[in-house]
Structure 1
């Protein structure tokens, strides 16, 4: 058992870092969280589309998403404490995945069924009946507006599958604040506007961190959950010597359009992955938020630092994404003035997160979440608590990867899938 006098320091108070703080404090650790912003969830979490989906190409990620989804569905019960600001709400709007080259339909379906996650395959006829606002023509593969292929005549009609228990969280930053509040109720301490300057290493293992203002915070373990800043934190720590998978900040643009008539929640409105035309979108109040699925024709904008991200969406992103929606949803309107937000992902080559120890004893990472991190956050807290418990008590996770048994699915989740030592296979444009 971990002794209650053990001290943990978490770098990052986004949804991931706050979830880790909650689970470590529940496990008896004295937890301190530092974050460069003024409150929990004020960084990349605040720009999340907050979609909670379960269709993935790999079973461990499907299992993590499903386990986390069950916690989102019972958010108050999972937190175990009231928050005077109120609680973020999980909106069970479902997820519709249109057939297309950007998703491996059969593999995703196999994983969903292996975990007994409800899913229904839809014929074009059934798709038209359930979602009349959609044009189900086969419009892909994705192309840019200036390419004649964008305007090609439809080649046929699409099928799809429907996952009714998916959905989205209505306020991603509030969700992080809820986690931080619950962690504080268990004794965690949050220090905002605080950044790490140096990792303290004594006798070959972590001893704490030095902040930019010169303050030293003693700690027995340090967890890097800094999101798009994770690469910078790893470099400061000198922890990258044996990483086979790297992380990089990737600029992400999400545009906003007026909600088309008939696409309201309760009507055709749902979370949609358009694997045919390269977008994902969902209702958000009176608007429709639209992001990209990274098809090959859409340029990837990697950054040296998250601070280099643009302040507003690019005109060409606005044009191509809005016109894709105009072709996909009947009656969609495209305003003359672009609207949207720019966020930053922390991505790996294979778009699979890294939840692992490092070569520095006592230094752990929960990074490279590649846009998946928000939905996985509640279970990631449990993963890190399991890793820290086992490794600090002598387990060699590199030689004998741990598993985590899902409390809802019963699945034995192979945590080696998220190892820093894995062989990465680039999968841009996939699920």
Structure 2
């Protein structure tokens, strides 16, 4: 006989675990199912875990600012006792270069003013005092080393920077997912690992009935939530939920470069940087390394892959993004042995996540989030639980979108912004941290 639950959550990454926790807090009997061996074992473990409070849209910025407070008050959010091994928030702040590619941050600052996000404007002299190892020449547009003009200044200096003090990074993203799992289990939430779903079963009226696992066992629940990360498109296809989706998701290979820290003391005193002039972001990485990621400029090829069959080896992209940062930091050393992370992002067509119901009754989605939504994971879990609870109790989210109240920022967020049926959002940066 099949096990009975109120809700099944597919995935136990940081967002999947948060959805399970928040549904449990609302009184649902939940089970998170993941084919990997532990919470946060997949794309969450490879996340750069950057926490930032600026974004390219008002709604995105408001959600990011709300999410900041969950990380700031991590133990209180979890409700775990003292003595637990908890993920740590390095609140270093985030420096974003003012460059032509991001409109010299005028829109971002305007949004920050509207929402109340604090920031400081830094001149180039301010940057030089804090970062004397920086070359502030413009190199735009971003190029690859095999393109003409790579490494050659293109005229003038960057226009200063905006520093957002309420930001930084989490020291151990996998541990953060495990923290949420423990918080959910404390309240009665369940987790099943090394468990692969082979079938999504439906009732005669087309609504969700439950799932069948690879070992033949069945789990029944009227609610099924797709938080499968890079496998989200496959799960949607399995559920028959693709037909009315105007925005879809796909799995992209991403590479993160780790190089020796070029400046003494920068690991302890450094902060997150975003530089759209060279299309790279950085942050300190344990072991006295500098972590470098690409902001996905047009010159970088996006590699769409099958999440069940892809090459985990580094490619030339590892060296390309290191060389781009070396334009800004001439003293940067690039070792012959490649170190870093290869992982998958689950991205939507406009790089804004889908937090929504579906055309299949009882089937919900928190997808297209890998790479850009780690910072929002705790509040995203609460948001999805609210959407599911209200939709299940008679509010048709497609016709009457759920309004989510954000407690810390005291703002209301129309969750229709994240609809699967939305038009592609042209205000998006179509990147991770740009």
Shorter-normalised TM range: over 0.9
C-alpha distance in 1 between matches for 2:61 and 2:145? 34
Aligned CA RMSD, in angstroms, stands at 1.7
1:19 aligns to what?
18
Give the counterpart of 2:212 among 205, 210, 213. 210
Instruction: Tell me the equivalent position of 2:184.
Output: 183
Matching of residues 137-286 of structure 1 within 5 Å: 137-158=137-158, 159-202=160-203, 203-262=205-264, 264-267=266-269, 269-285=270-286, 286=288
Q: Is the 8 A contact 2:354 2:365 kept in 1?
A: yes
What's the TM-score once normalised by structure 2's chain length?
A: 0.94
Q: Quick check: 1:25–1:186 contact (8 Å CA) kept in 2?
A: yes
Aligned pairs (5 A) from 1:220-369: 220-262=222-264, 264-267=266-269, 269-285=270-286, 286-303=288-305, 305-314=306-315, 316-369=316-369
Q: Which moved more, 1:408-417 or 1:244-253?
A: 408-417
Stretches of 4+ moved more than 6 A in 1? none
Matched, 1:56 2:52: no
- Contact persistence 1:280–1:291 (CA under 8 A): yes
**What TM-score comes out, normalization by structure 1 length?**
0.95
- Of residues 257-266 and 8-17 in structure 1, the stretch that sits farther from structure 2 once superposed is 257-266
Residues 83 and 308 of structure 1: CA distance in aligned 2, closer, same or farther (over 3 Å):
farther
The runs of 5 or more residues in structure 2 that have no matched partner are: none
| 1:84 Cα deviation from its structure 2 partner | 6.5
Contact 1:33 1:189 in 2 (8 A): yes
Maintained 8 Å contact 2:267/2:289:
no
Shift of 1:6: 6.6
Distance 1:143 1:367 in 2: 31
1:263 touches 1:283 (CA, 8 Å); kept in 2?
Answer: no
- CA drift at 1:373: 2.0
Partners of 2:219 and 2:5 in 1: how far apart?
Answer: 13
> In the alignment, what sits opposite 1:92?
91
Question: Contact 1:112–1:118 at 8 Å: present in 2 too?
Answer: yes
Q: Which runs of 5 or more structure 1 residues have no equivalent in the other structure?
A: none
Q: What is the alpha-carbon distance in structure 2 between the residues aligned to residue 43 and residue 6 of structure 1?
A: 25
Cα displacement (A) at 1:406: 1.2
Distance 2:200 2:268 in 1: 50
Deviation of 1:103 after TM superposition, in Å, equals 2.7
Does the 8 Å CA contact 1:196/1:212 hold for their aligned counterparts?
A: yes
